[in-house]
A and B are shown apart, each in its own frame.
Chain A
Amino acid sequence: AQKITQTQPGMFVQEKEAVTLDCTYDTSDPSYGLFWYKQPSSGEMIFLIYQGSYDQQNATEGRYSLNFQKARKSANLVISASQLGDSAMYFCAMRVGTQGGSEKLVFGKGTKLTVNP
């Protein structure tokens, strides 16, 4: 079964410190994509970072980096130098194929990050 597991319902971090949000995935497909999205209380799902299954290097986007460990099927998000505006829900997602030929995202349950001043 294709599944995303986020085991941390909530995380706290001090402003300017780094934080790691955990994500493990399960799939038998050799080709897949892994995503992290941020969802503030307003509801919009904001794309942060992408890692392809064949990418040799870990993805980075500004203060975000993805620690991709293929053998362990993990794709942890690292946020460096946390800011108050980083407080939000964070979702890990995996792109999988469907019978109709489309590609859908399978999401985890999310981690609520709170950045303290």
Chain B
Amino acid sequence: ETGVTQSPTHLIKTRGQQVTLRCSSQSGHNTVSWYQQALGQGPQFIFQYYREEENGRGNFPPRFSGLQFPNYSSELNVNALELDDSALYLCASSFRGGAKNIQYFGAGTRLSVL
């Protein structure tokens, strides 16, 4: 158990809709990162939040946005869903400032866009 929880576990949406995914960090962690994992691929970095601000983004369009709250939990929002957004979305928490800065992952949210 990593202490990182994600909700919901599964979600089905139709093209054009909007979706919000949630993540609770491990206790003591101050940083949250989001990744998208398409079927048969390794995870791809979406963005990272530290002190409630986005401070790093991968190659994803602006319709992917996020929030981090004072308790370090986080949301990933995706607008105008496309079929290619179907994937496993993984949240990882870590402590910036640690020697190893290990990212611990949740079980993910599996999103299907029809």
- Does A62 make an interface contact (CB < 8 A)? no
Give every chain A residue within 8 A of B50 (Cβ-Cβ).
Answer: 102
- For chain A, which range describes its interface: under 10, 10 to 19, 20 to 34, or 35 or more residues? 20 to 34
Is B42 in contact with A104, judged by CB distance below 8 angstroms? no
Give every chain A residue within 8 A of B54 (Cβ-Cβ).
Answer: 100
- Does B45 make an interface contact (CB < 8 A)? yes
Residue numbers of A with Cβ under 8 A of B are 4, 33, 35, 37, 42-47, 50, 52, 91, 93, 95, 98-110
Partner pick for A50 among B40, B92, B100, CB 8 A cutoff: B100
Pairs of residues from A and B, 8 with the lowest C-beta to C-beta distance, nearest first: A102-B56, A107-B42, A98-B56, A100-B56, A45-B105, A102-B48, A104-B45, A44-B107
Given contacts A45-B90, A45-B105, A50-B102, contact A107 B43 (CB under 8 A): yes
A112 to chain B, nearest CB (A): 10
Given contacts A98-B56, A104-B45, A105-B45, contact A44 B102 (CB under 8 A): no
10 contacts between A and B (CB under 8 A): A33-B100, A45-B43, A91-B42, A100-B57, A101-B56, A102-B50, A104-B45, A104-B56, A107-B43, A110-B42
B38 to chain A, nearest CB (A): 11
Give every chain B residue within 8 A of A108 (Cβ-Cβ).
Answer: 42
